[in-house]
Amino acid sequence: MSKEASYGRFFSSKAVGAKASMIRELFKALGKEDIVFFAGGAPAPESFPTALVGELAEEVIRDKGNEALQYGMTLGQPELREALLEWLIRKYGFKGDDLDIIITASSQQALDLAGRVFINPGDYIAVESPTYLAALQAFRYYEPKYVMVKMDDEGLMPEDLELKLRKLREKGRSIKFLYTVPTYQNPSGVTMSESRRKELLNLASQYDFLIIEDNPYSELRYYGAPVKTVKSFDDEGRVIYFGTLSKILAPGLRIGWAVGPKEIIRKFEVMKQSLDLCTSPLNQLIAWKYISEGYLEKHIPEIIQLYRPRRNAMIKALQDFMPEGVKWTEPKGGMFAWVKLPEEINTTELLNNALSKGVAYVPGESFYPNRDITNCLRLNFTYEKEERIRLGIQRLSQVIEEALRS
């Protein structure tokens, strides 16, 4: 076949429809000295306990080499599943006898599994507005219809969800599940209040749907009391909880988990078999040592110490430099702040200008399934160091000021 030939005729209609994530594209700007990079969601490499992971890997190969290099069980290595469940029950108060856990190739795989297990084309699911863009990418493949739930400073608004559930019920329809990132949300940085978590569970019971609680960030807490998970209030087995080591150890290990009722986790297991047979046993055993030997609990405060001043530097710079009419969230944890510009400014159109002035962000429209809200943007504050954060926000403020003038 000639080099110019298109292979499009071989692609499935789903492959033809698939679009590269804007963030993956933006990664091309990563590592360029002249661009301050607020576009990622990647941890700062200096947060990785590299030497320790090396030692743990050596021990695993020495003591459990055959297990580490062999295929493992689809559910995951029993040592890791046990250590994680113990940690989750102790730390987050998960309750009930009907709990099971599956290890996944990080949360992204759990999101895909949720799509496989729950969504038929045309099924309704509810998501926060805005929501995590790679969740939308994962779900899109299974062709759901979306119910968008409004948010304010206390997270998603149960009264808005109820209004929409009632309307669906009038049409004889309901949602299969609600997907939420309730704590230090990606992208907005907002945290759902405890009372709303309980209201949400009441609605799930009343309108008979499941809740997927995706919680990669709750350990990255810079201010305020620990936030209780939605799962900890779950008396009916309606919450499926996703966690990951990506932000509290290293995303390169690709270790995450889904916890929920046994019947659901069994379905996740069956669906995962055809995806990858199992998550890397070598990486799982490294993770098991990291958790069970107490390194995780020791390491989290170190990450917080690294990130808290970066978060503060960003908020201070936003206060110092942003022009009138621009609003932003002030997250107490996590990795992101969300900026809202006056409606006439389209942040996708603004991006090229920002890149040319030396600053990268993610345009907000990617975080809405219909891409219909165009005046917001997401800023990551954990990747760059404080001085660069200040410089980047100064640059971004100038770009926005120019756009407002013209």
Ligand X SMILES: Cc1ncc(COP(=O)(O)O)c(C=O)c1O
Binding segment for ligand X (CB under 6 A), chosen from 44-52, 62-70, 104-112, 121-129, is: 104-112
Site membership for ligand X, residue 191 (CB under 6 A): no
119: helix, strand or coil: coil
Contact with ligand X (CB under 6 A) among 29, 35, 38, 41: 41
User: Residue 190's CB: how many other CB atoms inside 10 A?
Assistant: 26
Residues in contact with ligand X, counted by CB under 6 A, come to a total of 13
Q: Which is nearer to ligand X, 147 or 212 (CB)?
A: 212
DSSP 287-308: HHHHHHTTHHHHHHHHHHHHHH
Beta bridge partners of 150: 129
Q: Which is nearer to ligand X, 246 or 280 (CB)?
A: 246
Residues 384 and 395: their CA atoms lie apart, in Å, by 14
Closest Cα to residue 259, out of 127, 84, 72, 119? 84
Contact with ligand X (CB under 6 A) among 132, 209, 257, 307: 132
Site membership for ligand X, residue 133 (CB under 6 A): no
Contact with ligand X (CB under 6 A) among 74, 107, 137, 375: 107
CB 377 within 8 A of CB 366: no
| Residue for token pair 């933006």 | 26
Read off the DSSP letter of residue 54.
H
Q: Are strands 36-37 and 175-180 parallel, antiparallel or unpaired?
A: unpaired
Tokens at 317, concatenated = 């710079």
Contact with ligand X (CB under 6 A) among 47, 191, 218, 246: 246
Residues 101 and 272: their CA atoms lie apart, in Å, by 13
Nearest distance, CB of residue 344 and ligand X, angstroms: 29
Nearest distance, CB of residue 279 and ligand X, angstroms: 11
Pattern 171-190, ligand X, x by CB under 6 A:
----------x----x----
Nearest distance, CB of residue 234 and ligand X, angstroms: 19
Residues numbered 255 to 274 that lie near ligand X (CB under 6 A) are 256
Nearest distance, CB of residue 105 and ligand X, angstroms: 8
Site membership for ligand X, residue 106 (CB under 6 A): yes
Site membership for ligand X, residue 251 (CB under 6 A): yes
Binding segment for ligand X (CB under 6 A), chosen from 11-19, 102-110, 267-275, 281-289, is: 102-110
150: helix, strand or coil: strand
Distances (CA, A) of 298 to 106, 209, 219, 243, 285: 22, 38, 12, 18, 18
Residues numbered 51 to 90 that lie near ligand X (CB under 6 A) are none
Site membership for ligand X, residue 375 (CB under 6 A): no
Tokens at 284, concatenated = 């799982």
Tokens at 87, concatenated = 């940690």
Pattern 195-214, ligand X, x by CB under 6 A:
-------------------x
Nearest distance, CB of residue 164 and ligand X, angstroms: 22
Nearest distance, CB of residue 244 and ligand X, angstroms: 3
Nearest distance, CB of residue 173 and ligand X, angstroms: 27
Contact with ligand X (CB under 6 A) among 47, 191, 244, 280: 244
Read off the DSSP letter of residue 211.
E
Distances (CA, A) of 346 to 200, 352, 353, 403: 33, 12, 12, 9
**Cis peptide upstream of residue 363 (ω within 30 degrees of 0):** no
Site membership for ligand X, residue 130 (CB under 6 A): no
Nearest distance, CB of residue 188 and ligand X, angstroms: 11
Q: Which is nearer to ligand X, 286 or 400 (CB)?
A: 286
Site membership for ligand X, residue 361 (CB under 6 A): no
Residues 164 and 77: their CA atoms lie apart, in Å, by 41
Contact with ligand X (CB under 6 A) among 47, 74, 77, 108: 108
DSSP 75-93: T--HHHHHHHHHHHHHHH-
Q: Which residues bind ligand X (CB under 6 A)?
A: 41, 106-108, 132, 181, 186, 214, 216, 244, 246, 251, 256
